[in-house]
Structure 1
Amino acid sequence: MRAGANDDADVIVVGAGPAGSSTAHWCACAGLDVLLLEKAAFPRDKICGDGLTPRAVAELVRMGVDIDPADGWIRNEGLRVFAGRRSWELPWPEVAAFPGYGMARSRMTFDHLLAQHAQRSGAKLLERTKVTGPLTDERTGRVVGVRAQAADRREVVYRAPVVVAADGVSSRFATSLGIARRDDRPLGTAYRTYFRTDGPSGPTARHADSWMESHLELWSGQPGKSDLLPGYGWIFALGDGTVNVGLGSVSSTPQRQSAVGHDYRALLQRWVEGAPEAWGLSPESQLGPIRGAALPMGFNRAPMYRDGTILVGDAAGMVSPFNGEGIAYALQAGRVAADAIAQARTRTSDAAREAVLGGYAERMRADLGGYYTLGRAFVRLIEHPAIMRFGTRYALPVPVVMQFVVKLLSDCYEPRGGDWVDRLISALTRVVPAA
């Protein structure tokens, strides 16, 4: 599966977000010629909470990304959770598989840093190159490259034996191939903005907070009623004088989300307006507008491999239904996809190569499928306001429940061994269908 005489690369990666840059990095490290295509120009923004769980940090460490706090990273110790007029500080679990800390960094610089890292590994990055569709073999229908619009508006064609779709939640590339989103998977919605933090500087300043703050009681505030929503509000310190403030909500299906019809931008605005004065969230300190995006969850696009195209990250719906985290799984998917591509390259028959490439989807399902299945059940439960209210006010304060919840929701547990909580979560992910 080495590039032929008419090919421009061994693999083309569409989109230079975390999933795309991870794929490009690992492919380049495996000795493949990689073409990484990004429609925008860096630095560019991406709607996100900007928080990284220990699982995501572990992937960055594997990649060799420099995460020195002196270079713009801020570490956090865990979650500060508010619910039922109480708060708890829940440290990240101490497990062998992941570091005992999370991190945060604005996606404006984070994505650029990862793309540059992929370049240093050997990938060729082309910015302002908008992929317009797949290039297919007329005889077999297999994807053999992409059609794109270059920075100078020229229509260009790039060829490669494998194309990786890392073009986000909408994934026009996958859609053009008839790989549609599933309507039986959860869909989240997140809105966020930034604030400049006022008040004293130093380690106690809001922008330097060592805890990722989550508020679990998120009320709809609709006229005539005010339901408790399945989601949370957040304040994540970025260490640069600013904080990311936002909220996210989830529905068990896209249809249910459409039926609910909340104005989340207005909801976030009301939430900020009702915040304590000590938070320092004033109109004068707000930086930029409130922006929102959809969160595709629980493998909501399938198949993850078909006819020369691999889907990674948001394009495959790899956001966790438990917490809206997607970066860790995007980075992981890039690593697994690159391994499949590199291994397929060594096979001597088309059938063997296809089997190896198809194994990418099997590996991702084996690792995350059971966890995502539990996540779908979790979403269906918390969609009921009464259950959400009982959980936040009565169940969460119980220490053993709290220990279980923080490991389950953060996906930070020992997959093999560990304490009884780790073993319970691992058992649950194995016994449920990994669909």
Structure 2
Amino acid sequence: MIYNDAEQSFEITASTKRKITTGIQFSTQDIGTAKITFKLTKDGEPLPISNATHGKLYMRMADGSAFYVNTEVGDAFEGVLFYVLTDDQIKHAGTVTAELYVSYDNGQSLSVHKFSFEIDKALIDANIAPLAEYYIEDFEDLKTDINKTTDEINQTLNEIKAKFNEFENIETKTGAQEKANVAEANAKAYTDLHAAKTDNPHKVTKSQIGLANVDNVKQAAKTDFDTHVADNVRHISASERTKWNGSQLYRLTSNDGKQNLLADGTDLLSTPSGFYYGINNRLLNNPDPNDLGWFSYEITEGTSGRKKLTATASYNSTMWYGTVHTDGSFRGWRRVLTDVDISPSWNSVTLVNGAVQDSVYPFKFSVSNNVLWLRGSFGTLPSSGTSVAKFTKKPTQLVDFVVPTIGSYGTARFALTTDGDLRYDGMMANDSAGVSRVSFNIGIPLW
């Protein structure tokens, strides 16, 4: 992920702490990228952060709204926390006043520091109305403009006076109403008399109104027509007709709308467009044939013969994509990396067979982009050739490696087996009695 990252270092101390006005400035268009990274120190050393440590950030925005949120751990050993502003928070333009806290599960809490930063309103988010500006260069021009305006006002007043003179010759409202009432009464009397005549005074024939073209047969009653119109079994709606006309020639899913199950041995490259699932090691051209779980597949094909395939593992949502060119050649699978792959989290390791974790630098692991990373220490070692930990991620062949030791500064030999066992294979030097612990900082590829 790409971030507009602003770093801020804080020393936790009981001395007077004034609010820091930082130089941090984000934009309302920094959507999903406005990141503040805090580096915390105590007595000149990085503040240790563990699973029992919780960073809290309080922000009061320029419009008075407030947010109290959890930060995330960037580096536990170096005392690094960070927070990425949400899409809603970044829209509050103006000065933001904030305070960082650190709390622990045992009830203790630290106020780290107050600080402020800016959120600038981007031009695309601003409602900018153009302003008209007027300039008068000297007093004589101003005087001329005033005289011109006065003349125009006088002319308008004269025109209004002339209109009032014309109004005096117009009949009054009362007189006009009396005449209108008389005309309305006369018209109503005539129309009432004409409407009462039933002897066809205008001598209209059936041919003149088109009745000569109508067959003299019995017509259906209106209730019959209403019943027919209301019959939804015999008729379809406009939306139904549109849906049917736009329907597909074959089903992309099963009848219940779920994915279609691929038969064992199916070649993914020859499968038509649709949504599918299947056991991956039973299908041909699957992105991860060593995975025994089931996969979801989405396959689309264009008019030119180009085909796009996506595959998603069920157990960890890992995704791959691939294409078949218009010439029929498959361009291979490509894995889609996520923020978890790029910035993985560190997990505690359960030691076995008498191996003991180091209390200050515990032994941890992380998996990123098919690489098993190990860091930290454990002190007490079992006898040579004994497994000290077991991992679910396994290499396809035995991996031997060495790590430095603390104490006599020797070198310890280890191996990661194809069963996932981390095995201690003894010391490289003869002075192993002075070793206090071993220190890991290594990445092991998982082919």
Bin the TM-score by the shorter chain: under 0.3
Q: Which has the higher strand share?
A: 2
Q: Which has the higher helix share?
A: 1
Relative to the length of structure 2, the TM-score reads 0.20
Relative to the length of structure 1, the TM-score reads 0.21
Q: Larger radius of gyration, structure 1 or 2?
A: 2
The structure showing larger relative contact order (alpha-carbon pairs under 8 Å, at least 6 residues apart) is 1
